[in-house]
């Protein structure tokens, strides 16, 4: 039996188990505790009990969104770090979060959501994200070639422009709108639209499958674009596809859950540290680890000072950052 | 009729609209070891890039075993031409074995997840040939410059190419590794019949190892022929603008170029 395959299967299995445990935990704990035994019986009891509606109307959607968003951000980070061969790149580097934030801020400040409905919030976020990505793509492409440094710099600049514009909007908007904007920007897995949750989950799973098609290309790309081309990789096509993929994944995540930072930066590094840099295992492992991480962070965020809820970004940053720095000091790590 | 592996026909190629190679023509016979020499900026690396379709010709054709490479897709080309680059970088997370196995990428079938038994055998053989089997489990970034060059050659061999292209394989190597790398290339050429083109800066190494030399100057063919014919004081002075004396290597009686310093 191929030892590499065994090792990979084992890592995937362990991570899947971790996700299952984290999922069960997130369903059990909260303002109303549901014991594990009860959790297993509830689906068969049918509607009626308070616990049933807490489980299926509140906690399960949150769990599913956490899995979708965590996984999407993590693989988007893997893809971008791999393609740019830069350990500091993350899904928000290219201006996606800035654009989405700008879209939402404009929406809230102009109170468009009052006429169009709350669905316009994720929609404006998505449009803002896609608008900036398109701009970055056009500015970063010359003669049909994506210059990666150029793309990166353009993305960072557009990000800054967007954040300045957001600050401007916040400076001139009313206090109640301000609250709405800040709340959205801090990110949360609370999402009232069930279809959006399903959409994000399906997109992120499709994204994982699509990215997997490029796993070998990403491996070859880690030797540099020219070397990859020498190995027969269609470099421009791969870069374009991966860029679009990462943008869509991040765009959907951000519009549903706001700007949850750190997952896309730290999870890929963390996973690389344990399973290695081969994208054939790195991609699925990061998906699972990203989901697990976000689900756990969300569980912490809503239990730590219950009944109040901490912004999930606070937890991802503090917990994720400290864990990573600790691991980095203990292990040998090569990007 | 002798078999031509490669034929470059009136090739003009460069960056933007500035041509670096201007109407270059030459051909390479099956089993030949051709050395490409020339001053900095004469188009040696551009030639490598044109042969691997990184750069598109502005004019002219490149025929590989009689077929225009324009009609081949990159992976088909990578099954025929393997490149050992000048400054290998990146991939520091990989082990030598993983790196060498990347040479099998152009041979992969669609939706193939793992390397096949055959891939592993080819990689094993390539590492054995280059004397790098002992490095198999080491991380790429732990290797010395010389070892890195040897595993790069192993990766190229793993592609099972018809033609091996080397872009200054001895740059930044000590004298022992220079000899080791070129001995290896010579051996692969002589024993396994591998056709190879190598760009070299060191005229003496080029003269020592290559069957034939191709001297480039300003993107044009300056002189091609046996090392004795190309490493001629007048030819060298014309191409490089420096005065030289050509003697013989006492051990191999191949031409040896001694520069004459201008400063008193």
Mean of all residue pLDDT scores within chain B: 91
A chain contacts of residue B94, beta-carbon cutoff 8 Å: 222, 277
pLDDT digits (tens, 9 = 90+) for B124-157: 999 999 999 999 999 988 898 889 999 999 999 9
Matching residue, tokens 């009990």: A49
Whether residue B74 and residue A223 make contact (CB cut-off 8 A), yes or no, is no
Instruction: Note the pLDDT of residue B231.
Output: 93
Domains (ranges, CATH) in chain A?
Answer: 3-330 (1.10.3470.10)
pLDDT digits (tens, 9 = 90+) for B44-84: 999 999 999 999 999 999 999 999 999 999 999 999 999 99
A chain contacts of residue B139, beta-carbon cutoff 8 Å: 334
B75, B98, B105 ranked by CB distance to A278: nearest = B98
Share of chain B above pLDDT 70, in %: 98
Whether residue A223 and residue B75 make contact (CB cut-off 8 A), yes or no, is no
Q: Phi/psi at B6 (nearest 5 deg)?
A: -130, 135
Chain B interface test: which of A231, A274, A284 (most B C-beta within 10 Å)? A231
pLDDT digits (tens, 9 = 90+) for B203-219: 999 999 999 999 999 99
Instruction: Note the pLDDT of residue B240.
Output: 92
Whether residue A229 and residue B103 make contact (CB cut-off 8 A), yes or no, is no
Q: Whole-prediction pTM value? A: 0.91
Where in chain B are the domains? 4-259
Whether residue B113 and residue A277 make contact (CB cut-off 8 A), yes or no, is no
Whether residue A232 and residue B90 make contact (CB cut-off 8 A), yes or no, is no
CATH of B4-259, one of 3.40.50.300, 1.10.3720.10, 3.30.1490.190, 3.30.505.50: 3.40.50.300
Across the range B96-112, mean pLDDT stands at 91
Other CB atoms within 10 Å distance of the CB of residue A172 = 10
Across the range B16-37, mean pLDDT stands at 93
Query: Could you say which DSSP state residue B108 is in?
Result: P
Contact (Cβ atoms closer than 8 angstroms) between residue B153 and residue B106: no
Contacts of B156 (CB under 8 A, 6+ apart): B82, B83, B84, B103, B164
- Residue B24: its H or E element: strand B18-29
**Measured CA angle at B243 (ends B239, B246), to 5 deg:** 95
Contact (Cβ atoms closer than 8 angstroms) between residue B73 and residue B79: no
Whether residue A307 has a cis bond before it, omega within 30° of 0:
yes
A334 reaches B (C-beta below 8 A): yes
B chain contacts of residue A219, beta-carbon cutoff 8 Å: 102, 105
pLDDT surpassing 90 at residue B264:
no
Whether residue B88 and residue A278 make contact (CB cut-off 8 A), yes or no, is no
Instruction: Note the pLDDT of residue B1.
Output: 45
Task: Look up residue A271 and give its two tokens.
Answer: 């996973």
Per-residue pLDDT of chain A (335 residues; tens, 9 = 90+): 578 889 999 999 999 999 999 999 999 988 788 888 888 888 787 777 888 888 888 899 999 999 999 999 999 999 999 999 998 999 999 889 999 999 999 998 888 888 877 888 899 999 999 999 999 999 988 877 888 889 999 999 999 999 999 999 999 988 888 888 888 888 889 888 889 999 999 999 999 999 999 999 999 999 999 999 999 999 999 999 999 999 999 999 999 999 998 899 999 999 999 998 999 999 999 999 999 999 999 999 989 887 788 889 889 989 888 988 888 888 777 77
B chain contacts of residue A229, beta-carbon cutoff 8 Å: 52-54, 74
B chain contacts of residue A2, beta-carbon cutoff 8 Å: 114
What is the C-alpha to C-alpha distance for residues A155 and B20, in angstroms, rounded to an integer?
33
Instruction: Note the pLDDT of residue A1.
Output: 52
Band (pLDDT 50/70/90 cuts) for residue B177 is very high
Closest CA to A292 of A73, A89, A37, A122: A73
As for the ipTM of the complex, it is: 0.90
Whether residue A232 and residue B74 make contact (CB cut-off 8 A), yes or no, is yes
Q: Chain B residues contacting A, CB < 8 Å?
A: 49, 52-54, 73-79, 82-83, 85, 88-94, 98-99, 102-103, 105-106, 108, 113-114, 139, 141, 159
Q: Bin B262: left if φ > 0, else alpha if -120 < ψ < 50, else beta.
A: alpha
């Amino acid at each position: 039996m191929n030892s590499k395959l065994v090792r990979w299967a084992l890592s995937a299995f362990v991570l899947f188990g971790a996700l299952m445990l984290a999922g069960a935990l997130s369903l059990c704990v909260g303002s109303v505790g549901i014991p594990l035994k009860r959790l297993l019986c509830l689906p068969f009891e049918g509607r009626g009990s308070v616990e049933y509606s807490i489980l299926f109307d509140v906690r399960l959607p949150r769990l599913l969104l956490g899995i979708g968003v965590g996984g999407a951000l993590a693989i988007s980070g893997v893809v971008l770090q791999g393609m740019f061969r830069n350990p500091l790149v993350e899904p928000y580097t290219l201006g996606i979060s800035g654009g989405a934030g700008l879209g939402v801020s404009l929406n809230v400040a102009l109170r468009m959501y009052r006429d169009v409905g709350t669905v316009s919030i994720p929609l404006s976020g998505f449009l803002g994200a896609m608008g900036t990505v398109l701009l970055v793509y056009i500015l970063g492409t010359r003669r049909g070639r994506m210059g990666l440094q150029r793309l990166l710099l353009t993305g960072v600049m557009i990000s800054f422009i967007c954040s300045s514009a957001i600050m401007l909007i916040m400076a001139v908007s009313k206090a109640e709108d301000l609250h709405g904007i800040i709340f959205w920007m801090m990110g949360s897995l609370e999402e009232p639209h069930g279809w959006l949750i399903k959409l994000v989950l399906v997109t992120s799973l499709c994204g994982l499958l699509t990215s997997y098609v490029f796993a070998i290309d990403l491996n070859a790309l880690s030797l540099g674009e020219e070397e990859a081309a020498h190995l027969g990789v269609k470099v421009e096509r791969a870069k374009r596809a991966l860029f679009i993929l990462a943008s869509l994944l991040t765009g959907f995540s951000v519009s549903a859950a706001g700007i949850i930072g750190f997952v896309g930066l730290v999870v890929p590094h963390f996973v690389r540290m344990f399973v290695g840099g081969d994208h054939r295992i790195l991609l699925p492992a990061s998906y699972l680890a990203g989901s697990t991480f976000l689900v756990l962070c969300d569980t912490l965020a809503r239990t730590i000072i219950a009944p109040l809820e901490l912004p999930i970004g606070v937890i991802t940053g503090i917990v994720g950052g400290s864990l990573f720095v600790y691991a980095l000091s203990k292990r040998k790590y090569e990007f | 009729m002798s078999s031509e592996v490669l034929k470059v026909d009136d090739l003009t190629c460069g960056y933007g609209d500035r041509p670096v190679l201007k109407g270059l023509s030459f051909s390479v016979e099956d089993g030949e070891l051709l050395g490409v020499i020339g001053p900095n900026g004469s188009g040696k690396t551009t030639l490598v890039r044109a042969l691997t379709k990184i750069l598109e010709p502005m004019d002219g054709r490149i025929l590989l075993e009689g077929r225009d490479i324009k009609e081949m897709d990159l992976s088909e080309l990578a099954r025929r031409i393997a490149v050992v680059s000048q400054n290998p970088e990146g991939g520091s997370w990989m082990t030598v074995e993983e790196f060498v196995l990347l040479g099998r990428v152009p041979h992969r079938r669609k939706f193939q997840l793992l390397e096949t038994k055959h891939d592993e055998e080819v990689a094993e053989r390539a590492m054995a040939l280059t004397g790098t089997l002992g490095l198999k489990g080491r991380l790429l970034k732990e290797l010395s410059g010389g070892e890195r060059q040897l595993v790069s050659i192993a990766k190229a061999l793993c592609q099972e190419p018809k033609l091996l292209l080397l872009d200054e394989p001895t740059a930044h190597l000590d004298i022992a590794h220079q000899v080791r790398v070129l001995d290896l290339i010579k051996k692969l050429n002589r024993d396994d019949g591998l056709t190879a083109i190598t760009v070299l800066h060191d005229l003496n190494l080029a003269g020592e190892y290559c069957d034939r030399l191709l001297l480039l100057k300003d993107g044009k063919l300056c002189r091609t022929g046996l090392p004795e014919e190309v490493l001629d004081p007048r030819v060298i002075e014309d191409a490089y603008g420096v005065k030289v004396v050509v003697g013989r290597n006492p051990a191999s009686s191949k031409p040896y170029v001694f520069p004459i310093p201008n400063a008193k």
